[in-house]
Amino acid sequence: MPLPKIPSKPATLLLAKDYPKASGANPTPALAVDAVEPVAAPATTAAAKKAPAKAKAATVKAVPVAKPAVAKAAVAKPAAAKAKPKAAILQAAPLHAPAGEASPTPSKVKAAPAARAKVTPITAEAPHPAKHKPVEVPLKSSTSRHADQTGQTKLFVLDTNVLMHDPSSLFRFEEHDVYLPMMTLEELDNHKKGMTEVARNARQVSRTLDALVSNTDDDAIEKGIPLSKLGNKDAKGRLYFQTRLQSADLPAGLPVGKADNQILAVVRSLEAEQEGRPVVLVSKDINMRIKARALGLPAEDYFNDHVLEDTDLLYSGIVQLPDDFWNKHGKDMESWQENKNGQSATFYRVTGPFVPSMLVNQFIFLEPKNGEAPFYGQVKQINGKTAVLQTLRDFSHNKNNVWGVTARNREQNFALNLLMNPECDFVTLLGQAGTGKTLLALAAGLAQVLETKLYNEIIVTRVTVPVGEDIGFLPGTEEEKMSPWMGAFDDNLEVLNKSDSDGGEWGRAATQDLIRSRIKIKSLNFMRGRTFVNKFLIIDEAQNLTPKQIKTLVTRAGPGTKILCLGNIAQIDTPYLTEGSSGLTYVVDRFKGWAHSGHVTLARGERSRLADHASDVL
């Protein structure tokens, strides 16, 4: 097959089936280069504005917005002296030099919508972030803010729910000290029985405390145990236990026997004994923090498990190029084409100032308003200020349909390029209801299992968290118990089977039986220790998973397995899980930039006009 003519400007979406391996170290493509020649930078008069690069998740440290309790103290000038506690029970840790003033949180810049291009079937609209619930930026107590300004090390009193939420929270407070009331240990003992995640965390905390206390005498417990004893070098503070009864005057109306009130009494007693030492209560219980504030005690939430404080800064996987991109990056640009199995793709090697803000496998687009052909591509390699860009396969055209499904908008086309790429082992799709996450994933799975036979079967799983009241135990086998939770997949299978009208009713019934024989529904409860080889694994409703659960699932992948995580972080049903601490947010942030993973945030709903309007107004 002869090589097509090398284009003199960025081509429209060309067909490409096989992709070169991406490597950050070498800008040269992995496949053989058929032709390389300098191409003049195409002149464009596009007015599309530059989309924001992925803003790095920054801990909220700037004033007036306060950082989380676990963040390192940021002050203008180092303090010269440390606080001197009156009581002999607790001793302040040595004062460490505080870090410098943190830069303000990066501001979010929204991309201006570009005009619809008439030369491509893909809807040319500028991306807009998925609608999220408003996230309240955490504010620190005045005591904690004052300690940050003076450079004092704080004494954090931990509630039981913090330890059960994050077993490693003892080592997340850097140079500050940690105090455990005796009531916290009592509640840990009450929650250690069972097979739940909370019980496992309670047992892990107990084992950690036992390792810290072992080989220490009574004097060491009185003076504080170094938290770095077990090898956690970031934990430079000390761990203190309540070694004697501490009495404090609380309002007469509060029940004395309640555990929360006893912990509040300990905090007030420590404030009296450690005069001048900032004492802060850390609790995940909202009512506990409200009561503490009402009593005049400083209280804060535990934020170390949050990946992002503002979910609008979450990596979207898509960036709009500035209108002068080719003018600034077209000097000495190289272009070549690679062909395999009848499919071709055009590659560009560009150098310029915008390249360092890109990530590997990130999608880029430029849609001029003057009628020129838009450019849709994907970053394959980055080396300093040099990047290799690849054009995409146009899945919006019917001849490139995936099991009868075509892309209806730009983001769906990006998602299908990831789903149909055998070099991409891990794909995350984020979007509101009706954006096509499940339909695209199921269509790509059926095409690669039944047509190309790249995978053996499709495995579907999801967390069984009900929206309302639980209906109780379900009868039957594992798949029969999971079938009520898989209604979304049954609906999408019905849509995919309707497209096959050649075989009639009997043909559709036979096709449906064949499809269902290749789809296995598994429960999350039995995933530990399994290994999936050559499977197409779909994790639905991944926003309801914790980071630990998502790690358990992703590490099940064996050779030749592809994992998809689908979800909408605005619809979290798991108790005590937020948008910032969801497992889906966690993997999107951690996997960005890896050569064999990709992420797309689907922005436009395609279910129906009723569903789209309901998502906007409800």
Give 241's contacts (C-beta < 8 A, 6+ positions apart): 179, 180, 182, 185, 221
Q: Is it the case that residue 492 has pLDDT exceeding 80?
A: no
**Would you tell me which CATH number, out of the four given (1.10.760, 2.60.40, 3.40.50, 2.40.30), belongs to the domain 318-391?**
2.40.30
pLDDT at 533: 92
Q: What are the pLDDT digits (tens) for 129-145?
A: 444 444 444 557 777 77
The band of 601, judged by pLDDT with boundaries at 50, 70 and 90, is: very high
Q: Which residues pair with 19 in a beta bridge?
A: none
Q: Are domains 142-301 and 318-391 of this chain identical in fold? A: no
pLDDT at 433: 80
Q: Which residues pair with 602 in a beta bridge?
A: 431
Grouping H, G, I as helix, E, B as strand and the rest as coil, residue 3 is coil
Which DSSP letter does residue 99 get?
Answer: B
One-letter amino acid of 509: A
Largest CA distance in the chain: 90
Please compute Rg for the chain using Cα positions.
28
Who wins on pLDDT, 130 or 505? 505
pLDDT at 445: 92
The CA distance from 496 to 154, in Å, is 59
The band of 479, judged by pLDDT with boundaries at 50, 70 and 90, is: low
- Hey, what are 271's tokens? 């404030």
Map tokens 């050569």 to a residue.
Answer: 595
Q: What is the mean pLDDT of residues 307-327?
A: 79
Q: What are the pLDDT digits (tens) for 222-261?
A: 888 888 888 888 888 889 998 888 777 777 778 877 888 8
The CA distance from 606 to 121, in Å, is 15
How far from 220 is each of 91, 168, 247, 309, CA to CA, in Å?
11, 22, 23, 38
Helices H / strands E in the chain, number of each = 16, 19
The CA distance from 461 to 539, in Å, is 5
Superfamily of domain 142-301: 5'-nuclease (3.40.50.1010)
Q: What is the mean pLDDT of residues 510-521?
A: 76
Who wins on pLDDT, 499 or 111? 499
Task: Indicate the Cα dihedral angle 608, 617, 306, 320, nearest 10°.
Answer: 60
Residue 564 has φ and ψ, to the nearest 5°, of -120, 130
The band of 610, judged by pLDDT with boundaries at 50, 70 and 90, is: confident
Q: Is it the case that residue 454 has pLDDT exceeding 80?
A: yes
The CA distance from 417 to 394, in Å, is 8
pLDDT at 441: 92
406-464+476-617 under CATH 3.30.200.20, yes or no: no
Q: Is it the case that residue 24 has pLDDT exceeding 70?
A: no
Residues 270, 179 contacting (CB under 8 angstroms): yes
The band of 92, judged by pLDDT with boundaries at 50, 70 and 90, is: very low
Q: Is it the case that residue 414 has pLDDT exceeding 50?
A: yes
pLDDT at 444: 93
Distance of CA 525 to the CA centre of its chain: 22
Q: Is it the case that residue 478 has pLDDT exceeding 70?
A: no
Classify the phi-psi angles of 38: left when phi > 0, otherwise alpha if psi is within -120 to 50, otherwise beta: beta
Who wins on pLDDT, 150 or 400? 400
| Segments making up each domain of the chain, as ranges | 142-301, 318-391, 406-464+476-617
Q: What is the mean pLDDT of residues 186-207?
A: 87
Who wins on pLDDT, 309 or 7? 309
Residues 376, 413 contacting (CB under 8 angstroms): yes
Give 530's contacts (C-beta < 8 A, 6+ positions apart): 556
Distance of CA 32 to the CA centre of its chain: 35
Grouping H, G, I as helix, E, B as strand and the rest as coil, residue 162 is helix
pLDDT at 395: 92
Neighbours of 119 (CB within 10 A): 12
Concatenated DSSP letters for 277-319?
Answer: S-EEEE-S-HHHHHHHHHTT--EE---TT-S-S-GGGS--SEE
Give 433's contacts (C-beta < 8 A, 6+ positions apart): 568, 571, 605, 607, 611, 615
pLDDT at 364: 93
Q: What is the mean pLDDT of residues 480-504?
A: 66
Neighbours of 275 (CB within 10 A): 11
Q: What are the pLDDT digits (tens) for 360-376?
A: 999 999 988 887 889 99
Q: Is it the case that residue 119 has pLDDT exceeding 50?
A: no
pLDDT at 340: 63
pLDDT at 566: 93
The CA distance from 303 to 155, in Å, is 17
Q: What is the mean pLDDT of residues 585-605?
A: 90
Q: What percent of the chain has pLDDT over 70?
A: 69
Residues 69, 300 contacting (CB under 8 angstroms): yes
The band of 425, judged by pLDDT with boundaries at 50, 70 and 90, is: very high
- Hey, what are 511's tokens? 């096709």
Residues 173, 144 contacting (CB under 8 angstroms): no
Q: What is the mean pLDDT of residues 487-505?
A: 67
The band of 547, judged by pLDDT with boundaries at 50, 70 and 90, is: confident
